[in-house]
Structure 1
Amino acid sequence: MPSPARVLCFGEALVDRLGPPGGDPAHDIPVDDRLGGAPANVACALARLGTGAALIGRLGDDRIGAAFRALLLERGVDTRALQCDPLRPSRTVLVRRDAAGERHFGGFAGDRGEGFADQAIDAAAMAGVLAPLLAQARWLLCGTIPLASAAAAAALQELLLAAGAHGLPLALDVNWRPTFWGLGAEQGPPPAVRQRLEPLLTQAALFKCSREEALWLFGSANATVVRRALPQRPAVLITDGPEPIDWAVGACGGRLPSLPVAAIDTTGAGDAFLAGLLHQLVGRPGLLQEPVVVSAVEQVLRFAAACGALVCQGAGAIDPQPSEQQVLAVLGESAAGTGAL
């Protein structure tokens, strides 16, 4: 029997179509289709680590939807709030990869003129299954992509209200993807979009973003500066690929080195990092509260960083996700000075 869902993951489940290194997945072969989407990645990674998770979203009644349901069943992810869209297809995202494994998101494939299933989450249908999920959950996780679509944004707002009524804290991974907003690649949020993001940014108890996102949104990649810029003063984590993690929790902060790996594909590394962090926080609910114990925060961040590093050693976001035992083994090797990953 699946574990009770301690983390509710809201948003997109989709296929990442990985092009050949240096190629374009729109027309170059071979391509590698991998199940993904940040909330789905986090839910699967949490289940792999041993923390129950639920995915709240919407998939098409198609091959991708069926593959996801089979995967989620295998991992033990709660799918009571995962909807099936009879009209709209599941989304396929075109992902370019450079020689170092870094990914760059392009356009989409599969649209038949009605948009994609993840854009059409039904708030009323979602509300009908929320009560037992909220009663058991400890965290709600989402990103900003649902805000790009009216129906998904409305469903997220309903979920935030319900979560707030249950005292459920929000973990926000900015996960800024301009292509989902119809904007050019490698572009930060314009003022009109920033205004739409603002209410979500100011509700997070745990705020994660990349260095680039921090610079776009706050003009600084210093976690303490970002924390002070948000009225609720959340815990802030800023990742930068293989570079150190910048963090601020309460009055404390610092920079923690990441674990070096020979990356094959960095897709999903940030999601695995966040899953590792939430996995630890579910078992240590007071960690982010004052008085902050720096050594304990750093221990949790090292665990999360190892989760992200291990995912980079395989293709796709979900298949390489580690178990807790694998993460602890790697951390043991690192502590022993072997440097082996």
Structure 2
Amino acid sequence: MADGSALAPRVLCLGEALVDRLGPLGGDPATAVPESCDDRLGGAPANVACALARLGTPVGLIGRLGEDVIGREFLALFQRRGVDVQALQSDPSRPSRVVLVRRDANGERVFQGFAGDQSLGFADQMLDRAGLELVWPGVSKQARWLLVGTIPLATTASAESLQWVLAQAKAAGLALALDVNWRPTFWDSEADPAAGPDASALSAMKPLLHQAALLKLAREEALWLFDSDDPLAIQAVLPQRPDVVVTDGGNPVRWQIAGHAGTMPVLTPARVVDTTGAGDAFTAGLLHQLVGLSGHTDLSHVGDSAMVERMVRYAAACGALVCVGAGGIDPQPDPEAVAKFLNQA
């Protein structure tokens, strides 16, 4: 697909771009009448890419969409935001994915299944390595970070493509940011949305965990993967000693970054409409600041724990502001909105 950005990406986000079909508060999107549901463009890597672009960081998306209405809507969105789409593939046979999102009365969500499958699977499952090999030299030439999650590991073709990109990134010196983003229904559409990863999924995730320079986990993911939610303990069992951030919904965020441990209450906006994409905006806020540190791909040169806390606080503000609107992309803040929120918090 044609490039929609003006600057070469500094961050590459690999993975799914899809529609979150938000059910009515307290209702079921699988059975609700269409008029009561709210379709929003989303997908964790697409969310992070759009959030980074809005914050001003040049970013590209590596993924695959169907040649359908959803695909066209995403292309228009990426063009508006300035997201580089050199590595965004189109699939003429498979549709873009629709995820059914059940919301409770407080806006908290559960991913419960999919819609739109025409028995061939979804476009994002078929990310093509050969196509990536053609565009990788151009799309990666200025990149410093690669952001991935674990969902592409759930399907053979996308897993192979992800593994190829990881090898290229390592050879080129790109730092890997891993937001685990465990979603069992992507591995098995009949799985309990609250289930943890089985032995096969854990084995598939291991190479990503061992390459990550920055590891972001929800608390339940930390417990599933490491039997601990302590960022220092998690860091200690990985050979590369990555920076680690553990989030826990409305509870304090904890981190072990550049030798500094910390914890901070989450920031809360005046009202919460929908929490979809809050963690992705947090990740984008952190990566945005890392990219701005004079080209460094880690915080090892930072000796000030207060600076690390300011960076986490900025990321938390990005996450909080997404919750004031529906969907994971439309409410994403620009730098001015983040600064205003932090001044008032």
TM-score by length of 2: 0.95
Do structure 1's residue 249 and structure 2's residue 260 form an aligned pair?
Answer: no
**Aligned position for 1:297:** 308
**1:213-242 deviation digits (Å, cap 9, x = unpaired):** 111111111111111121211000001112
**1:109-158 deviation digits (Å, cap 9, x = unpaired):** 00001100000001010110111221111100000000001000000111
The answer on whether the counterparts of 1:214 and 1:238 sit within 8 Å (CA) in structure 2 is yes
Q: How does 1:16-165 map to 2 (within 5 A)?
A: 16-29=20-33, 30-165=36-171
Do structure 1's residue 280 and structure 2's residue 280 form an aligned pair?
Answer: no
Q: Residue 80 of structure 1 aligns to a residue in which SS?
A: coil
Instruction: Give the letter for the 1:85 counterpart.
Output: D
Instruction: Give the letter for the 1:281 counterpart.
Output: L
Partners in 2 of 1:83 and 1:286 — Cα distance?
A: 27
Do structure 1's residue 195 and structure 2's residue 206 form an aligned pair?
Answer: no
Do structure 1's residue 323 and structure 2's residue 301 form an aligned pair?
Answer: no
The answer on whether the counterparts of 2:146 and 2:176 sit within 8 Å (CA) in structure 1 is yes
**Aligned position for 2:278:** 269
Do structure 1's residue 14 and structure 2's residue 23 form an aligned pair?
Answer: no
2:213 counterpart (176, 186, 205):
205
Deviates most, 222-231 or 66-75? 222-231
**Aligned position for 1:260:** 268
Instruction: Give the letter for the 1:269 counterpart.
Output: A
Partners in 1 of 2:235 and 2:146 — Cα distance?
A: 19
Q: What is the CA distance between 1:292 and its match in structure 2? A: 3.6
The answer on whether the counterparts of 1:226 and 1:236 sit within 8 Å (CA) in structure 2 is yes
Partners in 1 of 2:16 and 2:129 — Cα distance?
A: 15
The answer on whether the counterparts of 2:291 and 2:297 sit within 8 Å (CA) in structure 1 is no
Instruction: Give the letter for the 1:224 counterpart.
Output: L
Do structure 1's residue 237 and structure 2's residue 245 form an aligned pair?
Answer: yes
Q: What is the CA distance between 1:2 and its match in structure 2? A: 2.2
The answer on whether the counterparts of 1:224 and 1:248 sit within 8 Å (CA) in structure 2 is yes
Instruction: Give the letter for the 1:42 counterpart.
Output: V
Do structure 1's residue 173 and structure 2's residue 179 form an aligned pair?
Answer: yes
Instruction: Give the letter for the 1:231 counterpart.
Output: P
Q: What is the CA distance between 1:100 and its match in structure 2? A: 1.1
The answer on whether the counterparts of 2:145 and 2:297 sit within 8 Å (CA) in structure 1 is no
Q: What is the CA distance between 1:308 and its match in structure 2? A: 0.1
Partners in 1 of 2:203 and 2:168 — Cα distance?
A: 23
Q: Which runs of 5+ in 1 are unaligned?
A: 335-341
Instruction: Give the letter for the 2:333 counterpart.
Output: P
**Aligned position for 1:223:** 231
Give the ranges of 4+ consecutive aligned residues of structure 1 lying more than 6 Å apart after TM superposition: none
RMSD between aligned alpha carbons?
1.1
Instruction: Give the letter for the 1:18 counterpart.
Output: L
Partners in 2 of 1:127 and 1:241 — Cα distance?
A: 38
**Aligned position for 1:309:** 320
Q: Residue 135 of structure 1 aligns to a residue in which SS?
A: coil
The answer on whether the counterparts of 2:21 and 2:37 sit within 8 Å (CA) in structure 1 is yes
Instruction: Give the letter for the 1:316 counterpart.
Output: G
Q: Which runs of 5+ in 2 are unaligned?
A: none
The answer on whether the counterparts of 2:245 and 2:254 sit within 8 Å (CA) in structure 1 is yes
The answer on whether the counterparts of 2:175 and 2:297 sit within 8 Å (CA) in structure 1 is no
TM-score by length of 1: 0.96
The answer on whether the counterparts of 2:96 and 2:124 sit within 8 Å (CA) in structure 1 is yes
**1:33-66 deviation digits (Å, cap 9, x = unpaired):** 0000000000000000001110000000000000
Partners in 1 of 2:237 and 2:68 — Cα distance?
A: 43
How many residue pairs align between the two structures? Answer: 334
Q: Residue 141 of structure 2 aligns to a residue in which SS?
A: helix
Identity %: 58
Deviates most, 127-136 or 249-258? 249-258
Instruction: Give the letter for the 1:275 counterpart.
Output: A
